[in-house]
């Protein structure tokens, strides 16, 4: 079990850039194809709010959706899945297990063998090269 990080919304606003706060704390979605980077080097994507490792770079794939997509997390304990019925849709939200920040959604149209697509907002993750 991952120890939770608890902060006030004012504390999150000081830590996160405005777009990150809007997406990660207010559970909004960045515009498709707004991601300026497409890192495929050997590295790890971390939660932009609390630095928890979320996805290996080699789990990233081109989904054509306009958002970074991964077929599996580093560790299923590092994310939480929650039912999301916003906007009249039924989806599964993905949040960071440590800080409860909104990352994106998971869909069942990814590549084999799991068939999962973790559709993640690019502002919600930070890429770091493996050393």
The domain that contains 49 carries what CATH number? 2.170.150.20
Q: How far is CA 79 from CA 14, 32, 53, 89, 100, in A?
A: 23, 22, 10, 21, 9
Matching residue, tokens 């000081």: 14
Each residue's pLDDT tens digit, 13-54: 999 999 999 999 999 999 888 876 666 678 999 999 999 999
pTM of the model: 0.91
Catalytic residue among 50, 96, 99, 119: 119
Domain encompassing residue 112: 9-31+40-129
Domain count across the chain = 1
User: Counting every residue, how long is the chain?
Assistant: 131
Residue 60, domain member (yes or no): yes
Residue 112, domain member (yes or no): yes
Q: How far is CA 97 from CA 4, 68, 71, 81, 87, in A?
A: 7, 19, 18, 9, 24
Each residue's pLDDT tens digit, 75-122: 999 999 998 877 777 889 999 999 999 999 999 999 988 899 999 999
- Active-site residue flag, 99: no
């Amino acid at each position: 079990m991952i120890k939770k990080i608890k902060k006030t919304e004012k504390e999150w606003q000081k830590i996160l850039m405005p777009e990150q706060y809007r997406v990660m704390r207010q559970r909004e979605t960045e515009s498709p194809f707004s991601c300026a980077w497409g890192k495929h080097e050997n590295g790890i994507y971390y939660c932009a709010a609390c630095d928890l490792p979320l996805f290996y770079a080699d789990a990233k794939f081109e989904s054509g959706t306009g958002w970074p997509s991964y077929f599996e997390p580093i560790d299923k304990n590092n994310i939480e899945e929650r039912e999301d019925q916003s906007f009249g849709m039924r989806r599964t939200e993905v949040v960071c297990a440590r800080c409860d920040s909104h990352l994106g959604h998971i869909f069942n149209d990814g590549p084999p063998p799991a068939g999962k697509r973790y559709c993640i907002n690019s502002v919600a993750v930070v890429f770091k090269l493996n050393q």
